[in-house]
Amino acid sequence: MKKETMEELSARTDEHEFYLSAPKGYRVGKTKYVVITGSVISGVGKGTFSSCIGTILSLFHGFRVSPIKFDGYLNCDAGTLNPFRHGEVFVLDDGTECDLDLGSYERMLNKNLSKDNYLTSGKIFKMIIDKERAGGYLGRDVQFIPHVTGEIKGFLRNLASKTDADIVLVEVGGTVGDLENSYFIEAMRELSYEEGRENVFFINVTYILEPRSLGEHKSKAAQLGVKSLMSLGVQPNMIICRSENPVNEKVREKISIFSNVPLSRVVNCYDVGNMYSIPLFLMESGVDKEIINSLNLKKWEKIDEINLGKWKQLAKKTENPVNEVTVGITGKYTNVHDSYISIIKALEHSGSYSGTKVNIRWIETTEIENGENDINEVMKGLDGIIIPGGFGKRGIEGKIMCAKYARENNIPYLGLCLGFQIALMEFARNVCGIKDADSTEMNPDTKSPVVDILPEQKKIEGLGGNMRLGGKDVEVKKGTLAHKLYGKDMVRKRFRHRFECNPEYIQTLERNGLVFSGKHPKYPIMQILEIPKHPFFLATQYHAEFTSKTLHPEPLFSGFLKACMKK
């Protein structure tokens, strides 16, 4: 390529086979790229590894790191994906519904992300079709190469410019060899060609099999996975060998020879005590120094000792808890724990600060409402109950029974989104005497719609549909438990719901002892409720778990666990 700026080349793509997309003022080399791919099998912790690398580079070394996740499915976002199939739908502050890995990024990097940090096949294809229909390709036939790959590279460069990133951390979803991510890997090959090898660092996360019948590690599958990546024109700079147990030197040597990767960059990341120990383990293995030296980032000696010290303390407390509680989570996706990953992690890191191990008991509420399980037996031994978010009617009556049990037996209760609505219906039925109190989501013909969909309120919010998404301000009432926990008059939290407390019932609920401790700053939209005389009975219409960060736990989770320990 001629020595022209990216901007100059972008302006001439109608005359050449190059299709380069870059924002105004973009300079090659200002931002470095770390690209993480997977091979052999999925689900080995590529997202966790990406989060840990981001933690090391941002929190410990002080680089401005912008992570991005690519998902190969044709959905434009994760909003319509079934939690049974894909796990939790995470919501960003700007309302983007995305993959759960972005939740890991936010928690571990201690920062909020946006729609620019998330890309799917559907999203990129829609951008391209819309641009083509508007005549944006100057009459050219639009092809995977150079146009699809070019727009992907442009998306990354826009992220780099918008966030003024030192490093863009790219996680390629799926594994090498998948049809749906093959063109994305091609885009990363082209990115390295255009930016220069000194500005792009490839990491392949592979899995080393250990068949029980053999009692030893086998590296052939990993070798073939690396070979597939190299056949696509990508030479990895580093290989991360995931395994349950430590692999021997011979396995690392085989991978090194087969992949053209120096032995010092073939790192065995085996299972350690807890995920907070992984960044420390990777630093001890020299992963950060290898990345920083390869990318010629001069600031690598700088270590934020304060953040590093906090992290070491967190890992130590998680490894050696002094307290233990058992929390019941009621839901309908209990067979797929990733459906509630943000709640699990919020409990985990909130508990770590007090040296508390949180044991989770999964409660399938359909078995309670149909009489298969006795509520008294199910609740025996629980120190607290969480009712998480969800949609649909299945298991609702069982959840209401759980909320009633928690209220009457002084068991700490934390309701999240649907858990807020469940608490409303239970209180209305059993305290206010509104026996048929219900939600129009579950019973459209109910005569007592304590929970209802209110289109005029959605119009006030300016969302134009019936889903309330993203970060919203919540006014917190002084003198309440919520205000004591937050220590603020106003907090910003994330929502994902259609139904909410019907304003017509607010006075009745309050007259009978329910306190609405959080609301919309201007309108009668209730967002936090609590029962003052209860040890801890608090519920939020928002998803408190989405804003809980590893170094800054959500106060409601911390308060909930303290109440569980007292019990």
77: number of CA atoms within 13 Å, CB side?
Answer: 15
Answer yes or no: are the C-beta atoms of 363 and 402 closer than 8 Å: yes
pLDDT, residue 462, reads 46
Q: What share of the chain is helix, strand, coil (3-state, %, to 5)?
A: 45, 20, 35
Token pair recorded at residue 187: 């885009």
Phi, psi torsion values for 15, nearest 5 degrees: -100, -10
Q: Give the model's pLDDT for residue 463.
A: 41
The pLDDT score that the predictor gives to residue 329 is 96
Kindly name the residue from 98, 241, 269, 417 that is annotated as catalytic.
Answer: 417
pLDDT at position 1? 46
Of the candidates 147, 241, 543, 554, the residue annotated as catalytic is 543
Q: What is the pLDDT of residue 269?
A: 94
Give the strand order in the sheet containing 500-501: 438-439, 449-452, 500-501
Residue 95's identity, in one-letter code, is: G
- How high is the pLDDT of residue 406? 97
| 424 contacts 501 by C-beta, under 8 angstroms | yes
Gap between the Cα atoms of 120 and 172, Å rounded = 10
d(CA 1, CA 18): 10
Residue 479 region by backbone torsions, left for phi larger than 0, else alpha for psi between -120 and 50, else beta: left
Residue 543 designated active-site: yes
Using H for helix, E for strand and C for coil, what is the string for 109-128? HCCCCCHHHEEEHHHHHHHH
Confirm whether 22-313 and 321-566 share one CATH topology: yes
pTM of the predicted protein model:
0.92
| All residues at 6 or more sequence positions from 417 whose CB lies less than 8 Å from its CB, including other chains | 388, 389, 390, 495, 496, 497, 540, 541, 542, 543
Q: Are the C-beta atoms of 42 and 174 separated by less than 8 Å? A: yes
- Give bridge partners of residue 65 from the DSSP assignment: 167
DSSP state of 142: P
Q: Residue 180 CB: number of other CB atoms within 10 A?
A: 15
Catalytic residue among 106, 194, 500, 545: 545
Do 208 and 219 form a contact (C-beta atoms < 8 A)? yes
For the domain covering 22-313, report its CATH number: 3.40.50.300
The rounded distance, in Å, linking the Cα atoms of 267 and 252 is 8
pLDDT of 13:
56
Q: Is 483 known to be catalytic? A: no
Quick check: helix, strand or coil at residue 444? coil
Residue 7's pLDDT is 61
Do 423 and 539 touch, CB atoms closer than 8 A? Answer: yes
Residue 30 · residue 44 · CB < 8 Å: no
pLDDT at position 311: 94
CB 149 within 8 A of CB 106: no
The 8-class DSSP code of residue 301 comes to G
In angstroms, the CA 558 to CA 485 distance is 9
Spell out the per-residue pLDDT of the chain, length 567, in tens: 444 566 665 555 556 677 778 888 899 999 999 999 999 888 888 999 999 999 999 999 999 999 999 999 999 988 888 776 777 899 999 999 999 999 999 999 999 999 999 999 999 999 999 999 998 887 788 899 999 999 999 999 999 999 999 999 999 999 998 999 999 999 999 999 999 999 999 999 999 999 888 888 999 999 999 999 999 999 999 999 999 999 999 999 999 999 999 999 999 999 987 889 999 999 999 999 999 999 999 766 688 899 999 999 999 999 889 999 999 999 776 666 788 999 999 999 999 998 999 999 999 888 888 888 889 999 999 999 999 998 888 889 999 999 999 999 999 999 999 999 999 999 999 999 999 999 999 999 999 999 998 765 545 444 434 678 999 999 999 999 999 999 999 999 999 998 999 999 999 999 999 999 999 999 889 999 999 999 999 999 999 999 999 999 999 999 999 999 987
Which one-letter amino acid corresponds to residue 556?
Answer: L
**Homologous superfamily of the 321-566 domain (CATH):** Class I glutamine amidotransferase (GATase) domain (3.40.50.880)
What is the C-alpha to C-alpha distance for residues 138 and 500, in angstroms, rounded to an integer? 48
Q: Closest by alpha carbon to 167, among 16, 266, 248, 63?
A: 63
Cβ-based neighbours of 220, under 8 Å, separated by 6 or more:
none
Active site includes 552?
Answer: no
- Could you give the CA distance from residue 276 to residue 283 in angstroms, rounded to a whole number? 12
In angstroms, the CA 181 to CA 187 distance is 10
Sequence spans of domains, the chain: 22-313, 321-566
CA atoms in the 13 A half-sphere facing the CB of 307: 19
What is the identity of the amino acid at 509?
Answer: L
What does each C-alpha distance from 310 to 42, 69, 275, 353 come to in angstroms?
31, 27, 15, 10
CA angle 29, 31, 32 (to 5 degrees): 85
- List, as one string, the DSSP characters of 8-60: HHHHTTTTSS------TT--BTTBEEEEEEE-S-S-SSHHHHHHHHHHIIIII
Is residue 389 within 8 Å of 417, Cβ to Cβ? Answer: yes
